[in-house]
Structure 1
């Protein structure tokens, strides 16, 4: 491929994707709202752009073969705060991609699109949306947007419902963990699979306790290697028993399922900012 665009390049997950993506194309255009992303890799350029600005995204995406869309406001917040980056931003990415003949958009969706399902329900990629927050609602919107652009305009998209791509430091993560190596493999498979149409896949490692079913997305060839069970003994020895009546513990969305709409879900999570420095 000649050109791949990565949105959200300054984010934690984006920091791990930048270098691998340079190996899949002649030119990686990384973009974010921040001033810069530090030292660039060989074959990488940076363009500062606001997802909510169609003209800016139109310029960034022109000439791209594929877009890896990871940019967003990555927490629950007031609807007005998410409207620009998470709702309008997704429209701008798909509309610009369609305008410029992009082949496929690979999207960083989330378990929060289905976060209100009870965790003891082993859900697959075809369950109906049950968002736990405005943040999850934005993921539902973008998944539906992707399906519509595929069916109306032939623009392929793969929507990666990421569970928790962060260090394993709580009991929920024993099932929801997505390692950075498996994230890279997942994105690579979403790019390299010859034909995808519209597809949904859960972003999760090969955890013994994984609460989701990816069998209907097996054609993407994603075969995770890592397993959070290696952390189980230490994690479970240091955490009190979970309350089966508490949505924080009982629902797929974890802390996002337990907060009131508009309130931070990340505030109840001990996410370590271990972004990759180059």
Structure 2
């Protein structure tokens, strides 16, 4: 059993799903977010309200931490100035504070938007280079590169999870390839924590979808074996959704709607508009 795990972004959708599983892996779980504590803390879980952009609030969280699961950030595109504190400075603070505290590893919620302008049909693996689609995607590139640097210069391990579309069920035709179920997301984080040695590793957060546009073959050593497949929803989704145009970047690029929006404008709102059009 791990000694202590710190979870950032604990009140977000994915953090909420992770908390019970992480509590079972560790003697002490410290959950943190910028909002108030949830009502369902585990017996070995402590919640601390903290702003990731403030080092004096982040550093105390890391005292005695063995592993850090960093899921805290603004999960959408926005003006660079809006993302700078939570997504850029926050990532630096987490890495630096974890290093100072002697933590062994950071498991980071990166995103497919780090290479969101890559072609969906390219069949990319985990060695694919960065092609960010937004300032949000650029923040993920920054943190991935920082994670590699901290591993190579300071020996702090990192697993960067390029999450595609993590929702309870696949929502649209694009998600037939990009979906990551909550169950598989939890398994991927668990394997990222429990694998003996990872160095610096990039893995895709995607379920065992028949139409998956990316491959985790290079990182099978993690032991991640997804259980769910979006194809189970394919008939219902394709029956109600229009056939996309061949030049629609919302489908031809890995970032989906984020690849289409002007810099600084919400990608989440673009997804909602796509759903409304269908």
Return the alpha-carbon distance in structure 1 between the equivalents of residues 43 and 184 of structure 2. 23
The residue number in structure 1 matching 2:32 is: 31
Q: In structure 2, the residue corresponding to 1:160 is in which secondary structure? A: strand
Correspondence 1:151 to 2:149: no
The residue number in structure 2 matching 1:134 is: 135
- The alpha-carbon deviation at position 270 of structure 1 amounts to 4.3
Return the alpha-carbon distance in structure 2 between the equivalents of residues 65 and 140 of structure 1. 24
Given that 1:243 and 1:250 are in contact with CA atoms closer than 8 Å, whether structure 2 keeps it comes out as no
The residue number in structure 1 matching 2:59 is: 58
Deviation digits for residues 184-221 of structure 1 (CA, Å, limit 9, x no counterpart): 10000000000000000000000000000111111111
Q: In structure 2, the residue corresponding to 1:128 is in which secondary structure? A: coil
Return the alpha-carbon distance in structure 2 between the equivalents of residues 249 and 161 of structure 1. 18
Q: Could you list the runs of 4 or more consecutive aligned residues of structure 1 that deviate by over 6 angstroms after TM superposition?
A: none
Return the alpha-carbon distance in structure 2 between the equivalents of residues 72 and 142 of structure 1. 11
Correspondence 1:268 to 2:270: yes
Q: How does 1:1-278 map to 2 (within 5 A)?
A: 1-166=2-167, 167-270=169-272
Given that 1:117 and 1:130 are in contact with CA atoms closer than 8 Å, whether structure 2 keeps it comes out as yes
Return the alpha-carbon distance in structure 1 between the equivalents of residues 43 and 230 of structure 2. 33
Given that 1:169 and 1:270 are in contact with CA atoms closer than 8 Å, whether structure 2 keeps it comes out as no
Deviation digits for residues 99-142 of structure 1 (CA, Å, limit 9, x no counterpart): 01000000000000000011111001111100000000000000
Hey, which of these two has a bigger chunk of helix by percent? 2
- The alpha-carbon deviation at position 61 of structure 1 amounts to 1.0
Deviation digits for residues 27-55 of structure 1 (CA, Å, limit 9, x no counterpart): 10000000222221121110000000001
TM-score by length of 1: 0.96
User: Aligned residues, how many?
Assistant: 271
Q: In structure 1, the residue corresponding to 2:38 is in which secondary structure? A: coil
Return the alpha-carbon distance in structure 2 between the equivalents of residues 270 and 213 of structure 1. 27
Return the alpha-carbon distance in structure 2 between the equivalents of residues 198 and 270 of structure 1. 35
Return the alpha-carbon distance in structure 2 between the equivalents of residues 34 and 121 of structure 1. 40
Return the alpha-carbon distance in structure 1 between the equivalents of residues 65 and 55 of structure 2. 16
Unpaired segments ≥5 residues, structure 2 = 274-278
Q: In structure 2, the residue corresponding to 1:123 is in which secondary structure? A: coil
TM-score by length of 2: 0.96
Return the alpha-carbon distance in structure 2 between the equivalents of residues 240 and 35 of structure 1. 41
Given that 1:173 and 1:228 are in contact with CA atoms closer than 8 Å, whether structure 2 keeps it comes out as yes
